[in-house]
Amino acid sequence: MFSYLVQTIIFIFGMCIGSFLNVCIYRLPISKSIIDPLRSICPNCGSIIRFYDNIPVLSYLRLKGRCRHCNKPISFRYPLVEIISGAFALCTFIKFGPTLEAFVYFAFITALIVITFTDIDHQIIPDLITIPGIPVCFLASFAIPSITYKESLLGLLAGGGSLLLVGWIYYLIKKAEGMGGGDIKLVAMIGAITGWKGVIFTIFVSSLVGTLVGITIILRTKKGMKIAVPFGPFLSTGAVTYIFFGPGLISWYFNLLG
């Protein structure tokens, strides 16, 4: 078991990465550079945020969730993303140890965090992440002992192809877009790093969770079936669930059947 000091350092490192993820979440959907300006700015007044006001979570608490310059409230989303990123950094480290596999999975999860929140806010899954992410995830899969390059390639093709087929069938029936191109590219990226088993698991879990959430939203609003629910967060949830619990859950399920 790793010492509490090491775990604390990993968690803090993850929160620092989360601070950068906030920049990506804010800037990518509006086509702003994530490196220019290099320093963070207030989303309300545009003032440069000093380094001592940009310490993950702590600065938010010290400033009581407000900008030092304009005193306008800053969304709780910012420390939330930092905490989520820190938690996943620690979880991947504990599960996979100080390995290249842990680094690959954490990097993949950070991409999913950005995708999740941009899809929630703008119903956009950035091509800047998914298009290069597909070949990058395929290459990264070589660092994962549990899947072969053939499984990775099959997962890539099955992931993108399966949702493309679903979207095409939906369009033939409803004469409307039922599956966005961003979702298709996202599942292809997920398949490249989890393999075909990961694709099946991800689609099953995301469909289940998405259906439950969708039904809940429909029952609690007056918009009925017209409300648009982004699917990216559910796909991300399914993929992360597979990384940490998928193989064990699959084995448990087949043992239960046997």
For the CA atoms of 94, 98, 102, 107, what is the dihedral angle to 10 degrees?
A: 110
**258 CB contacts (<8 Å, ≥6 apart)?**
none
Residues 15 and 122 placed together within one structural domain of the fold: no
- Number of domains observed in the structure of the chain: 2
What percentage of the chain carries pLDDT values higher than 70?
89
**Over 90: is that where the pLDDT of 50 sits?**
no
Q: What is the pLDDT of residue 223?
A: 59
Residues 82 and 173 placed together within one structural domain of the fold: no
Residues 115 and 25 placed together within one structural domain of the fold: no
Residue 88 belongs to domain spanning: 1-98
Residues 53 and 86 placed together within one structural domain of the fold: yes
The residue type at 85: S
Angstrom distance (rounded) from CA 41 to CA 83: 20
Residues 67 and 111 placed together within one structural domain of the fold: no
Average predicted confidence (pLDDT) for the chain: 88
Residues 202 and 221 placed together within one structural domain of the fold: yes
Residues 123 and 226 placed together within one structural domain of the fold: yes
**Which of the four pLDDT bands, split at 50, 70 and 90, describes residue 255?**
confident
Per-residue pLDDT tens digits for 51-102: 888 899 999 999 999 988 898 998 999 999 999 999 999 999 999 999 999 9
Residues 141 and 232 placed together within one structural domain of the fold: yes
Among 53, 69, 98, the domain-final residue is 98
Residues 91 and 196 placed together within one structural domain of the fold: no
Q: What is the pLDDT of residue 224?
A: 54
Please provide the DSSP assignment of 24-40 as one string: HHHHGGGT--SSSSSS-
Hey, is 180 helix, strand or coil?
coil
Question: What is the pTM (predicted TM-score) of this model?
Answer: 0.90
Among 98, 129, 147, the domain-final residue is 98
Q: What is the pLDDT of residue 182?
A: 86
**Over 60: is that where the pLDDT of 225 sits?**
no
Among 81, 98, 115, the domain-final residue is 98
Angstrom distance (rounded) from CA 62 to CA 66: 9
Residues 159 and 144 placed together within one structural domain of the fold: yes
Residues 53 and 159 placed together within one structural domain of the fold: no
Handedness of CA 202, 208, 211, 215 (dihedral sign): negative
**Over 60: is that where the pLDDT of 177 sits?**
no
Q: What is the pLDDT of residue 172?
A: 61
Residue with tokens 């938010």: 60
Residues 126 and 90 placed together within one structural domain of the fold: no
